[in-house]
Amino acid sequence: MKRIKKNDLLPWFTDDHRTLPASYKRSCEKFFKSLKQQAKSRKLQASSFKLDKERIKDYIGYMLKKELQKIVGGLSKPSKMPGPAYNIPAAACITGSKLVNVKGSVCEGCYALKGRYRFPNVKEALNRRLKALQHPGWVDAMIQLIKPHKEFRWHDSGDIQSLDHLKNIFKVCEGTPDTSHWIPTREAQILKQVKPEDVPKNLIIRFSSHMINQGPVSFWPWTSTVKTDGQHSCPSDQQNNECRDCRACWNRDIKNISYGKH
């Protein structure tokens, strides 16, 4: 049985409880009980400790950044973007993994399946984040990590995995009202299950057309396309592949963004 410091609560949330020493489990239970009493006395929340999810929510407010990162698998830092991002493996894209074999599609020759994305440490981090989506503390840990940032980009690699995943992203956006979020997606079947008015106001979901030189779709109000005629609106190829002052992708007044084929 491994040794764990009494005041290190992270293994409680991340490890299999059968592997934890009995004295450690008793001490954690005592700590959560004391939190419960404090919450009651301050009338913060009535009976909020019934679910593990709720226990985590209470504890997450006290967690260190590195502990939060362990829950979500860490954020990514694309050099192009003005803020951090979150990425999962492109191989897990439901639609993209089919489009990658379609000639002329935007996923043919997908950048997120090549280059540094194939390094073992990068692959390991992407898979860690994919697994972390199931963690009961994922939403609250993401909120704490994203809060300090003005802009957040979802999925510089990967895509929405399910309606539950999208709804959890909505909760993260609702918990970070001072952050602007942008998520591109090709998952029409998932997106068609929500209404544009249900999307948190600080989130823009852009539906990406599947084929190069295809126009924007009509079923969703915010879109993106890829063009080869040099008439694209994204200026990043003119500025060292960086967004710099441009925030067009986060702007709901701009209905479609077109990117150059890279």
Provide the binding-site residues for ligand SF4, judged by CB under 6 A: 234-236, 243, 246-249, 257
Angle made by CA atoms 52, 53, 58, in degrees to the nearest 5:
95
By beta-carbon proximity to ligand SF4, the closer residue of 70 and 153 is 153
Strands 203-208 and 223-227: parallel
Could you tell me the smallest distance in angstroms from the CB atom of residue 224 to ligand SF4? 9
By beta-carbon proximity to ligand SF4, the closer residue of 69 and 236 is 236
Could you tell me the smallest distance in angstroms from the CB atom of residue 241 to ligand SF4? 9
Could you tell me the smallest distance in angstroms from the CB atom of residue 243 to ligand SF4? 3
By beta-carbon proximity to ligand SF4, the closer residue of 6 and 255 is 255
Token readout for 249 is 């992708």
Distance CA 100, CA 172 (A): 30
Could you tell me the smallest distance in angstroms from the CB atom of residue 173 to ligand SF4? 18
By beta-carbon proximity to ligand SF4, the closer residue of 218 and 240 is 240
Are 159 and 186 in contact by the 8 Å Cβ rule? The answer is yes
Could you tell me the smallest distance in angstroms from the CB atom of residue 145 to ligand SF4? 21
Distance CA 57, CA 60 (A): 5
In our burial notation (b when 16+ CB lie closer than 10 A, e otherwise), range 86-116 reads bbbbbbbbebbbebbeeeebbbeebebbeee
By beta-carbon proximity to ligand SF4, the closer residue of 28 and 257 is 257
